[in-house]
Structure 1
Amino acid sequence: MSQPPSNPHPGSYPPPQQGGYQPPQQPQYGGDYQQGPQQPQYGGAQLGAPVPPKKSGVGKILLIVLAVVLVLCVGGGIAAWVFTKDTVDDVVTATKTRVVEPTTLGGRPKITDSQIQSTAAQMKSQLASDVPKASSTAGAFYGDLTKKDLVMIAGVSGVIADPKKELDDAAAAITPSLATNNFKTVDAGPLGGDAKCSDGKASGEPVAVCLWADRGSLGMVVLYFKSAAELQSQFVSLRGEVEKQD
């Protein structure tokens, strides 16, 4: 009986089979293997994959934007509070003017969300700092964010030498940030003074802005997600809830 051929190179591996070198098979992970490197799985997420940031509500983004705008606008607009040579009655009336934060505004409840309240408190604090001679300050939010029904008020009171100039300065200051470039004069209501309203936009969302100024106060009403025409129809009554005379 013939003997199998001996290995001419003892200790070496047998020669490869025909067809050339065969690479080792890639390991399988619970199904058909997909070409390319795979990240280890941990709870359904790939290790090292970027985690998308939590999205804040549009309303809260707007709050931050407008809070900053208001500080620049109202605080910068009333740089000096001085008594003038006008009639004593005008001065007396101005000194009796106050701005307040009603429990409700136009039937809307005051928002009690801690973050929103914190924003309002910072706004009021900045107003008081910028206008140290102000007799009162106001800053609050009303409505329901989930229903896109949100109103913000901000204002200061004191004796204003030139209300029309302060109103124009406030309108000019807010325009770059909110694109409120179409301010139109509107009825100021029984409290007198001057008032203007404009459409605007913040973070891609529509906002409506109305400003007023008289001898005793300068203030702003902002209606989110709405037009200036919608705010104008409410402005006089909303202002009447915020501006008071002792």
Structure 2
Amino acid sequence: MSDAHLTERQLIEGPEPVELTEEPIRLSNHDPEQSTQAQGRVSRRRRIALTVALVVGLAGAAALGTAGWRVAREKDTRLGTPDQVAGLTRDDSDRARSTADYLRSGFAADIELDRSIGTVYRDPADEKRAVLFFGGTTLLWQPERDLDSLFRLMADETGRVTDVRAVPAGRYGGVMKCGKTIGDGGDFAICGWADHGSVAMGMFANRPVDESAGLFRQLRDVVQTRG
């Protein structure tokens, strides 16, 4: 309305006041109750998400802590070749040493080791049941992967390694596997272990896999030390 149409009363008294009702003035079509409920749902979702993230984070931290403890416990490992072990006698003949050095060299070429060893043990009860043992020490972050790599290397050397399976690793832990192959000297069982500080393999002439696995654990108990 223009000033020309204002009445004299309106000019004197001013514009009429806005009448306020007892109903609340709604500034939008949004329902406050629905907004509160929606905020509650968002808040709950955030709490759930934070809880899940916390649980996952704690689980991850626990796994890293366990892995770190395992690496620290296993990394300082030494391997030896005693004269007598598990009823076997070390063979120091030139032929045995040549065979052991050949296996040790091929073994060390595939994995960078701080120290490598290799030897042949003979069975006083049966000369045809010799045991070829070779291994080394180093820090291994993924022991099972490195052990599998060595089994592939053995397959390349012998032509084929079959029926490779996990077997109990014994008191030193880590992973241990055994399989079998056929060599120039007959049937061989092949066993290997790996932990975060060492890796080793044994070839057992004319012995079944289960017997060889048990003998390999006995060898490990004697030749391996930690700390």
Which TM-score applies when normalising by structure 1? 0.58
Distance in 2 (CA, whole Å) between partners of 1:228 and 1:209 is 8
Runs ≥4 residues deviating over 4 A:
84-88, 125-132
Which residue of the other structure, out of 174, 191, 197, is the alignment partner of 1:216? Answer: 197
1:95 pairs with one of 55, 75, 92: 75
Taking structure 1 as reference, are residues 158 and 86 closer, same or farther at Cα in structure 2, changes over 3 Å only?
A: farther
- Residue pairs, 1:1-246, within 5 angstroms: 89-124=69-104, 127=107, 131=111, 134-144=113-123, 147-176=127-156, 177-203=158-184, 205-246=186-227
Q: Deviations over 1:9-66 (max 9, x none)?
A: xxxxxxxxxxxxxxxxxxxxxxxxxxxxxxxxxxxxxxxxxxxxxxxxxxxxxxxxxx
Compared CA separation, residues 205 and 106, structure 1 to 2 (3 A):
same
Q: Identify unmatched segments of 5+ residues in structure 1.
A: 1-83
Kept after mapping to 2: 8 A contact 1:98/1:135: no
Cα drift, residue 179 of structure 1 = 2.2
- For structure 2, the residue ranges without an aligned partner over 5 or more in a row are 1-63
Q: Is the 8 A contact 1:192 1:214 kept in 2?
A: yes
Percent of counterpart pairs with the same letter? Answer: 25
Q: Deviations over 1:196-238 (max 9, x none)?
A: 1112110261101111111111110111122212212322111
Shift of 1:172: 2.4
Task: Give me the whole-angstrom Cα distance separating, in 2, the residues matched to 1:85 and 1:138.
Answer: 32
Q: Between Structure 1 and Structure 2, how many residues are aligned?
A: 162
Quote the Cα distance in structure 1 between the aligned partners of 2:142 and 2:89: 34
Distance 1:94 1:196, change over 3 A: same
TM-score, length basis structure 2:
0.62
Q: Which has the higher helix share?
A: 2
Residue identity opposite 1:232 in structure 2: A
Q: Which has the larger radius of gyration?
A: 2
Amino acid at match of 1:173: L
Match of 2:3 in 1: none
Are the equivalent residues in 2 in contact too, given 1:141–1:153 (CA < 8 A)?
yes
* Per-residue deviation, residues 128-179 of structure 1 (Å, max 9, x unmatched): 56655x3322200011586312011111111101111112222222224252
Inter-CA distance 187–178: structure 2 relative to 1 (3 Å threshold): farther
Q: CA deviation at 1:94?
A: 3.4
